[in-house]
Amino acid sequence: MNVYRPAELDEALERMASRPVGDPLLPVAGGTDLLVHWPQRLDEHERDVLDLQALDDLRGVRWSEDWLELGALASYWDVIVDRRAGEEFPLLARAARQVGAIQIQSRGTWAGNVVNGSPAADGVPVLMAYDAVVVLESRAARRTVPLDAFYTGYRRSVRQESELVVAIRIPRRSHELQQFVKVGPRRAQAIAKVGLAVTRSEAGWRVVAVSVAPTVRRCPTVERRLEVGPPPRSPEDLDEALTADVSPIDDFRSTAHYRSRVLARVLYDAVREDARDDAAPGR
C-alpha cells in the first residue's frame, strides 16, 4: 500500500492521471466511510491511496456574492459552526447535525458523502435540494456537473477515475420553504430508512428523496405536481406522483411499504399550505 499525500492540487491530479486504467488511486478525505470495518477489508489494504488532507486549498467554507462553496475537505462540523450557512442554508446544518454524532461530523466531508454515493446519504439530499453543483478537476480539465445529474446508477457517477471532486457550490438564493426530514431507527447514529429534502424558491420546487431508489434523486413528477397542481389535501394525493419517481425496496433496514407510505406523509406534511417549519419529525 502506497500512500501519496500531496500538498498541491496539481501534484494530486498528476498522480491520478498517471495511474493505469482500472487501477485508480483511492482518494481519501475524512475516511468515515472507507475505514468502516477496515481490519476486515483486507483486499483494500493493497490499494494505493491518495490522502487529500494536506491539500489546504480544499479546506473550508467560502462565500462569494453568488455562491457558497464547500471545499472538498469541508466537514459537516465546518458547516454547523458557520453562522451564515445556518442563516442562508439551514438545511445544511440540519442534515449535518443528523449525521452520526460529533465524532463523524468532525471528520466526514460533504464531498466524500457525494462521491460515496449511498442511496441513504445524509449530505447529498440537502445539497441537491439547494441545486448544488459538483466541481470536478483532472489534470486535463475542470468541469462542473449539477449534483442532480451526477449519479448514473447505484453508487455510480459521471466522475472519471482521474477526476477529483474539489468543491461543491451552492447558488445563493432565497427560499420560501426549506424542509429536511431523515427517518431513521433512532435519533442519532442512524442510516436513513427514508428521507426527504424540499425547497421552494424562484427556481421552483426541489423535492429530493432518500433511500427509495438506487440513488438519492430528485422527484420531477412530484415537483411538477406541486408546481401546477392544486395543493395536496392528503398524503394519498401525492402517491401517484411519487410512484412515478421512486422505487422503494424491502431490505434489512426497512420495507418498501413503510418507505413509500412514510415518504408520502412527510412530503405532504412538508408542503402543505399551513406547514410549520419547526415541526418536522426528528430534529
Partner 1 sequence: MERLEGLAKLSGAERYVDDLAIEGALWGMTVRSPAPRGRIREVRFDPDIDWSEYVVVDHRDVPGANEVLLIEPDQPILAADRVRHVQEPVVLLAHPSRTAVRRAARGVEVVVDPEPAYLDASVPPRPDQIQRGDDNVLKQLRIEKGDVDAALASAWRVVEGEYRTGAQEHVYIETQGMIAWEEDGVLFVKGSLQCPYYVHKAALRALGRPADRVRVVQAPTGGGFGGKEEYPSMIALHAALLALKAGRPVKIVYDRGEDMAATTKRHPSIVRHRTGVDADGRLVAQDIDVLMDGGAYVTLSPVVLSRGIIHAAGPYQCDNVRIVGRAMLTNSPPHGAFRGFGAPQTHFANERHMDVVADAVGLDPIELRRRNLIAEGGETATGQTISDGVDRVGILDRAVELSGWREKEAAHRELARSDPWIRRGIGLACFHHGAGFTGGGEVMLASRLDVAGLADGRVEVRSANIEMGQGTLTIFTQLAAERLGVDPGAVVIAEADTGRVPDSGPTVASRTAMVVGHLVEEACDDLRARLGHDPGVSGAALRGALVAWHADHAGEELVGHAQYAPPPGVRWDDATYSGDAYAAFGWATYVAEVEVDLRTFGIRVIDFVALQDVGTVLHQTLARGQVQGGVAQGIGWALMEECRWRDGAMVNAQLTNYIVPTSDDLPPIRVAFSETPWAGGPQGAKGLGELPIDGPAPAVLNAVARAVGVSPCEIPLTAERLMELVEGAGSELARSA
Partner 2 sequence: MLELAFTLNGRPAALSVNPAARLLDVLRYDLGLTGTKEGCGEGECGACTVWLDGLPADACLVPAYQAAGRDVRTIESVAPERLRPLLASGATQCGACTPGVVMTALWIVENPALLRSHTVRELMAGNICRCTGYDGIIEGVEAAVAERMGTPGGAS
Residues that bind partner 2 (CB under 8 A): 1-3, 5, 28, 30-32, 35-40, 45, 49, 51, 53-54, 77, 97, 100-104, 106-107, 187-189
Provide the 3-class DSSP secondary structure of residue 242.
Answer: helix
Residue 18 or 255 having the CB closest to partner 1: 255
Report the site for partner 1 in 220-239 (rule: CB under 8 A). Answer: 234-236
Question: Among 192, 203, 169, which residue's Cα sits nearest to residue 92?
Answer: 169
Contact in structure between 49 and 39 (CB atoms under 8 Å):
no
Interatomic CA distance for residues 94 and 278, integer angstroms: 11
Backbone angles phi, psi at 145, to 5 degrees: -130, 125
Residue 52 or 167 having the CB closest to partner 2: 52
Residue 38 or 63 having the CB closest to partner 1: 38
3-state helix, strand, coil in the chain (%, to 5): 35, 25, 40
Q: Residue 1 binds which entry of partner 2, partner 1, none, with Cβ cut-offs from 5 to 8 Å by kind?
A: partner 2
Q: What is the DSSP letter of 158?
A: S
Q: Give Cβ neighbours of residue 49 (< 8 Å, ≥ 6 apart).
A: 1, 2, 3, 4, 25, 26, 27, 28
Q: Residue 204 binds which entry of partner 2, partner 1, none, with Cβ cut-offs from 5 to 8 Å by kind?
A: none
Distances (CA, A) of 13 to 141, 142, 163, 164, 178: 10, 11, 7, 7, 37
Residue 12 or 132 having the CB closest to partner 2: 12
Least Cβ distance, residue 209 to partner 1 (angstroms): 15
String marking each residue 93-132 x if it binds partner 1 according to CB under 8 A: --------x-------------------------------
Least Cβ distance, residue 120 to partner 1 (angstroms): 11
Tell me the CA end-to-end span of the chain in Å, nearest whole number: 42
Least Cβ distance, residue 273 to partner 2 (angstroms): 30
Q: Residues 174, 252, 273, 278: which binds partner 1 (CB under 8 A)? A: 252
String marking each residue 10-49 x if it binds partner 1 according to CB under 8 A: --------------------------xx-xx-x--x----
